[in-house]
Structure 1
Amino acid sequence: MISKDIYNEHMKGTTTIGIVCKDGIVLATDKRATMGNLIADKEAKKLYK
């Protein structure tokens, strides 16, 4: 059974990288988000335009 406290946790455990180039920037992220030991979302959106 899943603990009630798990619903109070925020998604975390993500990877984000940014690279500055001469003509602009490149931002990249993974898509997985975790809540403790649980994979909460395999397709989490982390970058917004």
Structure 2
Amino acid sequence: MPQAEHDRSVFRAIADPTRRAILDRLRQGPAPVNELASAFSQSRPAISKHLR
């Protein structure tokens, strides 16, 4: 993947507000998926998809 395309995909990924909120939480340290999911109205599988 060319660098410019890779950079765009990274910015697209972090443009999602849920992913940004997950990243903000993970800056405090590791957390189990269930703990992360409890902060959102989305299902645990949906949060797992965001993490992938």
> Under TM normalisation by the shorter chain, which class is it?
under 0.3
Q: Bigger radius of gyration, 1 or 2?
A: 1
- Return the TM-score normalized by structure 1: 0.23
**If each structure's helix is expressed as a fraction of its own residues, which one has the higher value?**
2
**If each structure's strand is expressed as a fraction of its own residues, which one has the higher value?**
1
